[in-house]
Copies of this chain bind each other. A is one copy, B any other.
């Protein structure tokens, strides 16, 4: 059986929207190590191992795709227990759609690490991303994990590079908050959307913090942050089988553990967590396949925030809107169309559309004195905003996407297996 192979990542050109990897401090209670399992014929590490101090709390959000991988199925069960001692991320093989053989490979990794740490296998989290339909090779996994357990500690950028597949740059972000008189730090890394091989677009994100947070509250904060960050980005509307975001809290900052929003500093922590989530979510859009422009869509006046988000995503997923932005064309008619097809309450005669803060149409009519020159100037930039005022209520949302270019077609179609 012959299956799709990703193109060698080295030949990819870096996204024009790339940003430098930030200088991120270590998080006490987190030790990172990388190794080469050789899942693909890549001249680089492809297995990331993060060891977590005993007592680390964990929370997670996962893909809604019903054809999800074994890693996602197991991860969903594991986060219910709320405790983590290690994370293993395989790059180059998503292990999705591989049935019982895929599950066996994941359980082998969990057992191997659990034995090393003398912990419960349920405290070992595994993610995999890459080609679909090929069971993760157990021998390569066993050797790769053994090498990682022996490796010298590495930094955030190495880990961010190692979890990537066809990403074109390493993606990380940080934030901090004062909780209970102590400064806690949050560091996040993420991979995704820079696919040059015709496999699944997958997103994996990990946030580590030294804050002490009870698992249930960590899950509450992560789910809330997810709603306005990862759930508000789209590159091509295709929901992966492997999407996973995990948050780990080692507790080494020594604060009184956060248990609810009543805890002192809980609001600051939740805000910092959402901040990191938003930053790394944006980085995925910036590495979107073929992306030349980063697009922010601000919806106001919808009947509810959820309605605003669905309208924003309808605009963000519209191929006609995305190609218009690629062509630097202030085609507000396409935005009208996308709002109208969202299936949400909207009234054509109350609808207003703008670009870069300048209204092109107000209350259902093109503005008579609309001057396209400043809008055209705005659209020439790398960061474009689209404003949509539904004119019906107070619902608001912001979503982010990238444009749809020849690069997307080249990455995904100019190829034969």
Chain A interface residues toward B at CB < 8 A: 1-4, 64-68, 96-99, 131-134, 198-201, 236-241, 317-320, 323-324, 326-334, 336-341, 343, 345-349, 351, 361, 364-368, 370, 372, 376, 403-406, 408-410, 412-417
Q: How far is the CA of A124 from the CA of B14 in the complex (A)?
A: 58
CB-defined contacts of A365 to chain B, threshold 8 Å: 97-99
CB-defined contacts of A417 to chain B, threshold 8 Å: 329-331, 372, 376
Q: How far is the CA of A397 from the CA of B410 in the complex (A)?
A: 31
Q: Could you write out 15 A-B pairs with CB less than 8 Å apart?
A: A64-B341, A66-B339, A66-B340, A66-B348, A67-B339, A67-B348, A98-B365, A132-B333, A238-B334, A239-B337, A239-B341, A319-B319, A323-B413, A326-B413, A409-B409
| Residue among B198, B338, B361 making CB contact with A334, cutoff 8 Å | B198
CB-defined contacts of A334 to chain B, threshold 8 Å: 198, 200, 238
Residue pair A324, B133 in contact (C-beta under 8 Å) = no
Q: How far is the CA of A405 from the CA of B237 in the complex (A)?
A: 17
Contact of A416 with B328 at beta-carbon distance under 8 Å, contacts A200-B334, A319-B237, A370-B1 already known: yes
Q: How far is the CA of A340 from the CA of B338 in the complex (A)?
A: 24
CB-defined contacts of A404 to chain B, threshold 8 Å: 409, 413
CB-defined contacts of A318 to chain B, threshold 8 Å: 237-238
Residue pair A331, B406 in contact (C-beta under 8 Å) = no
Quick one: closest B residue to A417, CB to CB? B329
Q: How far is the CA of A334 from the CA of B413 in the complex (A)?
A: 12
CB distance from A39 to the nearest CB of B (A): 16
Quick one: closest B residue to A131, CB to CB? B333
CB distance from A192 to the nearest CB of B (A): 14
Residue pair B67, A97 in contact (C-beta under 8 Å) = no
Q: How far is the CA of A346 from the CA of B241 in the complex (A)?
A: 13
CB distance from A19 to the nearest CB of B (A): 24
Residue pair A329, B67 in contact (C-beta under 8 Å) = no
CB-defined contacts of A68 to chain B, threshold 8 Å: 340, 348
CB-defined contacts of A370 to chain B, threshold 8 Å: 1
Residue pair B1, A372 in contact (C-beta under 8 Å) = yes
Q: How far is the CA of A326 from the CA of B98 in the complex (A)?
A: 26
Q: How far is the CA of A406 from the CA of B411 in the complex (A)?
A: 11
| Residue among B131, B133, B317, B329 making CB contact with A237, cutoff 8 Å | B317
Residue pair B97, A333 in contact (C-beta under 8 Å) = yes
Residue pair B198, A324 in contact (C-beta under 8 Å) = yes
| Residue among B368, B413, B416 making CB contact with A1, cutoff 8 Å | B368
Contact of A236 with B198 at beta-carbon distance under 8 Å, contacts A97-B366, A337-B241, A413-B405 already known: no
CB distance from A4 to the nearest CB of B (A): 6
CB-defined contacts of A347 to chain B, threshold 8 Å: 66
CB distance from A26 to the nearest CB of B (A): 36
